[in-house]
Amino acid sequence: MTVPKTADVGGWFRTADDEVALKSAPDWGPGTGGFGLASSDDELAAALEVLRRRRTMVLTGAGMSTGSGLPDYRGPDAVPRSPMLLSEFLGSDLSRRRYWARSTAGWRWFKQARPGLTHASLAALDGPLDVVGVVTQNVDRLHQSAGSSRVIDLHGRLDHVRCLSCSATLCRHWLQTRFLSLNPSFAARMAFLEEEAVSAPDGDAEVDRTEDFRYPACRACGGTLKPDVVFFGENTRRPIVDAAFAMLERADALLVLGSSLTVMSGLRFCRRAARDGKPIIIVNDGATRGDALATTRLHGRLEHVLSRWAAMLPA
């Protein structure tokens, strides 16, 4: 099955508060290597045995959703690009116009994304394994769609928009209609722009001419609206981080799926688990920043690893 490339609408913000990298936005692109390796069935079985005897917290990253057509930053097919910084979004009207224009062009593709085999397999493991919960760095809500419960959206959710002044929350899909009515000439070109957003790997192309794009303010207070996701350079909200650490407290093991752990936002859970002597199993195609902390490092496509585990567990 060919999975369409989506626009960058979901891709900009899967990174968050890395206090080190924050000083300068990195050029995102394929990681430094380790792609294409595959762990053996024996290695997968040994790791599964560790998990079977423990309560497990799962931490997931963009690698979970690439099979659903949502691009990642560090995978083998990642397209180099710079995510928008929070300071850019807040400090520049032109940046906000550009952001919302691209978001409007790519929205349909993002909304169409469906859970893949990875999401379904993980949901199916919850039961045979004692999964205390899933902390995801993704903003696509595909774990919930696949039936996973107890999911913490560490970096927020792209289907919500929040007012920065009064904290009112809006449905992003409803806002799409507003964007189109405010920008009739843009709306008239939507079919073309949507195609462009898909075929241009970073969603740029024609959508870059965005100086005239109009976006609404909060109806309640006139404040600035922002997608309810953590931008690069923005801290994850404290209650959400606390809830994630509390979940890790209740777990005896940490399973990392499809994250290069490039940003501190995810890596810190590995550090905490390592500090507490809890086994850490990392499954990722490509090197991760947490490899030195892992007690077990598994390689290969997530789809393969998760479906092999499902087959190894008693029905």
Residues 3 to 62 in contact with Zn ion, rule: CB under 5 A: none
Q: Distances in Å between the alpha carbon of 38 and those of 41, 224, 288, 300, 301? A: 9, 47, 15, 4, 8
Nearer to Zn ion, 173 or 219 (CB): 219
User: Do 264 and 20 meet the contact criterion of CB atoms below 8 Å apart?
Assistant: yes
Residues 204 to 233 in contact with Zn ion, rule: CB under 5 A: 218, 220-221, 223
Q: How far is the CB of 40 from Zn ion (least distance, A)?
A: 55
Nearer to Zn ion, 128 or 223 (CB): 223
Nearer to Zn ion, 218 or 241 (CB): 218
User: Do 33 and 280 meet the contact criterion of CB atoms below 8 Å apart?
Assistant: no
Per the residue annotation, which of 155, 160, 173, 299 is the catalytic one?
155
Which range of residues in 35-43, 159-167, 247-255, 282-290 is near Zn ion by CB under 5 A?
A: 159-167
Asked whether position 163 contacts Zn ion by CB under 5 A, the answer is yes
Question: Binding-site residue total for Zn ion (CB under 5 A)?
Answer: 8
Alpha-carbon span 166 to 84, nearest angstrom: 23
Q: How far is the CB of 14 from Zn ion (least distance, A)?
A: 26
Residues 167 to 196 in contact with Zn ion, rule: CB under 5 A: 168
Q: How far is the CB of 216 from Zn ion (least distance, A)?
A: 11
Alpha-carbon span 194 to 104, nearest angstrom: 9
User: Do 17 and 230 meet the contact criterion of CB atoms below 8 Å apart?
Assistant: yes
Residues 131 to 150 in contact with Zn ion, rule: CB under 5 A: none
User: Do 15 and 262 meet the contact criterion of CB atoms below 8 Å apart?
Assistant: yes
Q: Supply the DSSP string of 185-214, one letter for each residue.
A: HHHHTHHHHHHHHHHSTTS-GGGG--TT--
Does 143 participate in catalysis according to the annotation?
A: no
Nearer to Zn ion, 201 or 216 (CB): 216
Residue among 3, 166, 171, 246 that touches Zn ion (CB under 5 A): 166
Helix-, strand-, coil-residue percentages of the chain, each rounded to 5: 40, 15, 40
Question: Given the rule CB under 5 A, which residues bind Zn ion?
Answer: 163, 165-166, 168, 218, 220-221, 223
Active site residue ranges: 155
